[in-house]
Amino acid sequence: MPTWEQFERRVVSTANVLLAGALAATAALVALAVTVSWGGRAALFGLVTGLVTGMFALLRDRLPGAYAAVAGLAVAAVATPIASAFELPREPGPASILALSVLVGAAIRRQPVVWGGLVTAAYAVIVVGSHLLAPATSSGTVTGFAVLGWLGAVTTGLSLRLVDLRRRYSADQVRRDERLALARELHDVAAHHLTGIVVQTQAARIVARTRPAEVADALAEIETAAAEALTATRRVVGVLRDSGDAPPTTPQPEGLADLVRRFPGPPVDLRTPPEYASGAAWPPELATTVYRIVQESLTNVARHAPGARQVSVTVESPVDGVLTVRVADDGPATSSGLSSGVLSSGVMSSGVMSSGVMSSGSSHGLLGMRERVSALGGTLTAGPAPGGGWVVSASLPAPGARGSSAPAGTSDEAGTVR
């Protein structure tokens, strides 16, 4: 079941493809029109500014902060006096307007208020300034289009910002409610059992005084009750820890082999150290984390690397108390082809699109993995491998885990599955 984030990412990638098409089409049509009325030089200038700002518009999510918006606006701002000097159309062309509106709208939505305000103001200055620099004979049509673009950017950016805000708020609310409900349940469960234990203990003291022979029975009852209380508390806390799409609460060593066997994607080469298969060598939270990393990585492979032919999952014995997990695929998707793909054709190829989804898609799952790993004091890295494919690698401190004296090499315990 796709989450809202996944759905939104899909919408955004589709929108980016449409945007690229619209930019290219607008740039081409305008270039044609300008060639007829102004000559080829003007058309080329307009085409270049349009495509450069357009490129920043398509890269807006990849550049940090408001850089893309600032860069696009800078290009438009520099282009105006140059155009003025060479007696070319001063106003940003329709392709530039489209690109700048997307950039400014995105900045208003995502960036801090100060940055949003600054780029909005800069955009207005460019629109008004270029209109003032234009000769009096120039028709107001292009400026009118620019004003519309500015208004569109502001309204869309603000409404999307509001939507984001509301969604974050309601997510926070849900989390808070959930936490409160769990706290209440934990308290109720603990209090219920502890009350019984207290009453029973008070009674046991009376028994000790009046019928000493029966004290052992009373103590046994108290012990049972305390054990029950512990179990009940663990159950509630278990719910707290493993909410949502939780794996089995205590993944067993054979869990990884099972997980790999169930994996619907390409064949998986699973290598685990011998003591992992024998079980009980690691503390449960370590085993759970290893399981989660492998699970999340395989999920990402299945979703975002359709071209992968082979996946390797390697869990290595703790060396100097540090255990490593590495999941690598040989999927062909890389993000390096993006800019050339956009610039050369103006239309994204499907390969570029899938890599776009991949980096943002795995970053979401990565967040969860990274949280889990850092909670245990470990580190996690993920990224494209030098020879192609994607690698997720984690180092986890393994306190008290046996096998640190064993060689770092791995045994081919589970072997290649499928």
Residues forming the site for another protein (CB under 8 A): 191-192, 194-200, 202-203, 206-207, 210, 221, 225
Least CB distance from residue 237 to another protein, whole Å?
A: 20
- Judge contact between 290 and 275, C-beta under 8 A: no
Nearest to 335 by CA among 52, 24, 59: 59
Q: Which is nearer to another protein, 138 or 200 (CB)?
A: 200
- Judge contact between 103 and 53, C-beta under 8 A: yes
Least CB distance from residue 229 to another protein, whole Å?
A: 11
Q: Which is nearer to another protein, 125 or 220 (CB)?
A: 220
DSSP class per residue in 378-414: -EEEEEE-TTSSEEEEEEEE-TT-S-TTS-S---BSS
Least CB distance from residue 178 to another protein, whole Å?
A: 21
Least CB distance from residue 186 to another protein, whole Å?
A: 14
- Judge contact between 392 and 293, C-beta under 8 A: yes
Helix axes 215-241 and 141-210, enclosed angle (nearest 10): 180
Q: Which is nearer to another protein, 148 or 203 (CB)?
A: 203
Q: Which is nearer to another protein, 188 or 412 (CB)?
A: 188
How many whole angstroms separate alpha carbon 221 and alpha carbon 216?
9
User: Which backbone phi and psi does 139 adopt, to 5 degrees?
Assistant: -75, 150
**Single-letter code of the amino acid located at 55:** M
Copy the structure tokens of residue 409: 């090499």
Work out whether the CA dihedral 130, 136, 137, 143 comes out positive or negative: positive
Least CB distance from residue 335 to another protein, whole Å?
A: 57
Least CB distance from residue 214 to another protein, whole Å?
A: 10
Q: Which is nearer to another protein, 189 or 277 (CB)?
A: 189
Q: Look-up: residue for tokens 């530039």?
A: 96
Q: Which is nearer to another protein, 33 or 215 (CB)?
A: 215
